Structure 1
Amino acid sequence: MKSLNNIHSQVPEHVAIIMDGNGRWAKEKGKIRTFGHKAGVKAVRAAVSYALKSKVKALTLFAFSSENWNRPVDEVGVLMELFKLVLGSEVKKLHKNNVKLRVIGDTSRFDSKLIKKVHDAEELTKNNTGLTLNIAANYGGRWDIVNAAKTLADKVKSGELTTAEITEELFTEQTCAADLPVVDLLIRTGGEQRISNFLLWQLAYAELYFSDIYWPDFNEQTFQDAVNDFNHRQRRFGKTGEQVS
């Protein structure tokens, strides 16, 4: 393995991570699934630490999808309580490190205590200028796209906009990650190789990196391995290899 002291200069500006494998990690250790979710908090700290050290501009973590409500009620309850605990214990550290925290997704389904914690965390860190850390909670890529389409439709209906004026750039401005760089690198742990309704609009030209490592075992070296792989890719954006080289 390459040393973490030799971080490649070509760091992706925006990295998105699907944090998968908590339940299977716990099961292999003879524990209940929620044990894995709690263990995964350490991996979140490692991801944020690496992003800060390597000057990643934005890190988006898929914490809870809009489909995850279909999981067992007890597991969902633990995830919600864990979210509250993490917000309470980690926000001051993030603020101290100049991290701007945002929660993207439909937070209206959360209870009032969690909504308040989200609001307070975002308020505390809103003026920070370092890493932007996005936690995607009750988020779905299709939901994001539909919301953007509804916003534009309302503007057309009110006469503020014509359909001819709608562009990809204008559509992007209505999405959750509108003010961030496009996603350069998507990492998914846990061995699955799909994007699971995550940032569908924003992943159009992202490089995809799939790891068999379960999320609780993710660390700074794992992140470095993904970035090393990213830097061996030729990103053509529709051009030929000869054009970009």
Structure 2
Amino acid sequence: MTTTSADVALVTGANKGLGREIARQLADLGLRVYLGARDETRGGTAAGELAAAGGDVRFVRLDVTDAGSVAAAVAVIEAESGRLDVLVNNAGVSSEIGIAVPDITADQMRATYEVNVFGVVTVTAACIPLLRRSANGRIVNVSSRLGSLTALSAEDSRQRKLGALTYSSSKAALNVLTLLYSEALRADGIQVNSVTPGRVPTDINAATDRRGERTPAEGAAAPVHLATLAPGTMTGAFRGAAIDESPGW
């Protein structure tokens, strides 16, 4: 096992879009970043490009739905860096585009939850031993206003009218994970927070008219802020694209 003086971060689903931009910004701040992706070619290419730009970015194959690949990725981080300071649970999917709420099947719900909920638990549980070795562990869960019960409770809200049953409910579940992990890990000094990056043109939005008004760089700003918090700053919070904004649980 080796160690490094730079903070060490793992970003899941990071070969493109928001995840890649989060990885880039963290590397620009001097962190050693493990770029997690299930596709070896795309992930390796993305990590190589970011490393060529001067960052310490390293590819690890990581499929959040495959506990074996998660364990292998964590083993690489432990061998090369000895600890983990930051985990960004960014990987996410939606399996319902163009499907009305009454037509959603249990299989479609499972497909979304496998990544957005069970995948987060798989990765987080595997990373906790390394996060406990950090002097300032931070977990950032990339959520959405579509998972805000506050927003969904308003009858005229965009989030409610959109009717994204699998995605909204999975992000609401993710917010619950945030609250419970934050309490469970408080004594370890590990800060656990949720964040919505705002509407960014990701693959999830690409098949809809909700491409978004924010660039990936703008969307990554709030997750990166939470990933670089000073010790004891904030835990169990849900933050908006503007970090001083709370979308409401």
TM class by smaller structure: 0.3 to 0.5
> Normalized against structure 2, the TM-score is what?
0.36
Q: Report which of the two structures shows the higher radius of gyration computed on alpha carbons.
A: 1
> Normalized against structure 1, the TM-score is what?
0.37
